[in-house]
Amino acid sequence: MARKPSAQGETQNTRHQAGAAGVQAQNLRFARLLLWLSAIMAMVALVTSLGGMLGMAYRADSSNLAAQAMGQDGVNVFIAYPLLLVLMVLALRGSVRAYLMWLGILIYSAYSYLIYATSLHFSGWFLAHVLILGFSVWLLVAGIAAIDFARFRSSVRDGISSALPGRLLVIAGAVFAVVWLSEIIPSAFAGEQLESAQTAGLRTNPVYVADLGFLLPALITAGILLLRKRIVGYVLAAPMLVYGVVFGLAVIGKFVSLAVQGEPADAIVVVLMTIVALVFGAVLFVYLRGVRRDVPLHAILRDQ
């Protein structure tokens, strides 16, 4: 005859469940704080980008640089930051997929506002650009640090694709590095200014600084980790793929704006970046299918 559980055992189980629920609530509280802070940042970014679109921010810059900035502002206003807000809401509801994609928009935001803050002439918008840059970087760092990599395994299906996104990230990072170096190295040996910087009225190209110093090594590293099936690679894959999509759209926005405002613009760049955005988007879709929808966000977060 089976023995009934003792009252003491039931009490211990109840306490254990209550303790686990308390830890989950605390973990979610920190993640929710990050998500809500990103909403504040997005509002500031929307205001500054709208001001840029209306021609209020770039009066001291060259017509070429101003056109590029206004084109990217359009992508910020209509795509990037509205998407961040949608992903924030979905992540608040417990979506792991939305949280990973939210991290990707933060990468784009940090990258973009590093360039805004370092390439544009000083103006009343400078502090807003630095604020968005700082929020983006620290929310990204805290957002990744909040993930418990061991627990994240529970959200990944056994058959999740790793070869395709891993190779794409490595190849994309390497190709862009080669393209940028193909202008940098000859100009450096010839003692000449970068043509891309001169066209924009700049002394150097901040895109090369951000890409070669930070972004492209991160893409390649994430791809290698994913190919080696390291859990860190699985965490970073979706954010990097999201960045690739939005970055492609931002470049398209820049070149469309250049063309509309009568500045030199190569149509082939628009075609190539459209392909980049579509490829990254397709691979992202395939990859996210391998992230389980039935695992809630609190299940992958680190104990605070």
Query: What pLDDT is stored for residue 16 in this prediction?
Result: 43
Average pLDDT over residues 205-217: 96
Average pLDDT over residues 230-259: 96
Query: What pLDDT is stored for residue 55 in this prediction?
Result: 84
Bridge partners, 147 (sequence order):
301
Residue 9 has pLDDT above 70, yes or no: no
Average pLDDT over residues 192-203: 91
Average pLDDT over residues 75-81: 98
Bridge partners, 301 (sequence order):
147
Average pLDDT over residues 35-58: 96
For 193-229, give the DSSP string. Answer: --HHHHHTT-SS-HHHHHIIIIIHHHHHHHHHHHHTT
Tell me the C-alpha distance between 167 and 164, whole Å: 5
| pTM as predicted | 0.91
- pLDDT band per the 50, 70, 90 thresholds, residue 42: very high
Average pLDDT over residues 123-127: 94
Residue 1 has pLDDT above 80, yes or no: no
Q: What is the DSSP-derived secondary structure letter of residue 230?
A: -
Residues 6+ apart with CB under 8 A from 109: 41, 45, 80, 81, 84, 132, 135, 136
Tell me the C-alpha distance between 105 and 81, whole Å: 8
C-alpha distances (whole Å) from 286 to each of 8, 132, 164, 290 are 49, 31, 9, 7
Place of tokens 């502090």: 127
**63 near 261, Cβ under 8 Å?**
yes
**91 near 99, Cβ under 8 Å?**
yes
**Radius of gyration of the chain from its Cα atoms, rounded to whole angstroms:** 22
Residue 160 has pLDDT above 60, yes or no: yes
Q: What is the DSSP-derived secondary structure letter of residue 61?
A: S
Query: What pLDDT is stored for residue 264 in this prediction?
Result: 86
Mean pLDDT of the chain: 92
267-288 and 96-119 are packed helices; what angle lies between their axes, rounded to 10 degrees? Answer: 150
Please tell me the least confidently modeled range out of 7-16, 159-168, 201-210.
Answer: 7-16
**263 near 67, Cβ under 8 Å?**
yes
Average pLDDT over residues 45-60: 94
Query: What pLDDT is stored for residue 161 in this prediction?
Result: 85
Query: What pLDDT is stored for residue 61 in this prediction?
Result: 93
Is pLDDT larger for residue 24 or for residue 29? 29
Give the type of residue at 113. Answer: Y
Average pLDDT over residues 142-147: 96
pLDDT in tens, 219-244: 999 999 999 999 999 999 999 999 99
Average pLDDT over residues 37-41: 98
Residue 219 burial class via C-beta count within 10 angstroms: exposed 0-12, middle 13-18, buried 19 and up: buried
Query: What pLDDT is stored for residue 303 in this prediction?
Result: 86
